[in-house]
């Protein structure tokens, strides 16, 4: 066998190894977070939406890796094949990005017909307390079934497209900076 054939065989074996590891990791993560979601439901429904969004972000990250396997360099493929940590890192980032996106939805910093709308409990007339915080975590839900589906979709996208949430954050920060600068300019001219 020539070196080219050996390299091709090694690449194919690495792709198969990585695919098996991705399947194993996906199943393990789905089982763990499915159990956390179930426990959340059983114990007063705390953090249910958080777990659902985080899980969809992680799954999006795993699908993203699987989609890119054939186009990664041989060095990247070896790194991914030899390290469980590297396989898990991208999906964990996807889950974190899904949580950031969830907070953007809840705050309505991002809103519109393609994004989910949520019911959020009203704060008490007095200073919000720990009971109100618990109410936020137990009673903030998408308004409709369509909003829930949008939430799951965008959570998946946050994990699948590594650059999506960082680009959204940069865009929001840029707009906030522009608004701040415009307010400063107007204040100085008065």
Average of pLDDT values for 124-128?
Answer: 72
User: How confident is the model over 165-184, as pLDDT tens digits?
Assistant: 999 999 999 988 888 777 66
User: What CA–CA distance (Å, rounded) separates 156 from 147?
Assistant: 14
User: How confident is the model over 46-99, as pLDDT tens digits?
Assistant: 677 888 899 899 999 989 988 888 888 888 888 888 887 878 888 999 999 999
Q: Which of 21, 135, 4, 34 is nearest to 87 (CA)?
A: 21
Domain positions in the chain are: 3-161
Q: How confident is the model at residue 187 (pLDDT cuts 50, 70, 90)?
A: low
User: What CA–CA distance (Å, rounded) separates 106 from 3?
Assistant: 55
Spell out a b/e string for 158-173, using b for 16 or more CB atoms within 10 Å of the CB, else e.
bbbbbebbeebeeeee
Residue 37 pLDDT greater than 90, yes or no: no
Choice among 86-95, 111-120, 124-133, 181-190 with the minimum mean pLDDT: 181-190
């Amino acid at each position: 066998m020539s070196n080219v054939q050996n390299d091709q065989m090694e690449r194919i074996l690495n792709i198969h190894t990585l695919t098996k590891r991705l399947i194993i990791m996906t199943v393990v993560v789905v089982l763990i977070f499915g159990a956390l979601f179930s426990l959340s439901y059983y114990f007063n429904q705390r953090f249910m939406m958080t777990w659902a969004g985080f899980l969809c972000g992680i799954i999006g990250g795993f699908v993203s890796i699987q989609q890119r396997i054939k186009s990664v360099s041989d060095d990247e493929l070896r790194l991914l094949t030899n390290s469980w940590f590297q396989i898990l890192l991208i999906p964990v980032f996807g889950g974190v990005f899904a949580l950031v996106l969830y907070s953007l939805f809840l705050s309505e910093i991002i809103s519109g017909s393609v994004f989910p709308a949520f019911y959020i409990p009203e704060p008490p007339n007095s200073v919000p307390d720990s009971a109100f915080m618990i109410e936020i975590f137990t009673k903030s839900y998408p308004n409709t079934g369509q909003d829930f589906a949008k939430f799951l979709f965008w959570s998946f996208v946050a994990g699948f497209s590594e650059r999506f949430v960082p680009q959204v954050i940069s865009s929001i920060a840029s707009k906030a900076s522009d608004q701040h600068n415009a307010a400063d300019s107007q204040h100085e001219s008065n």
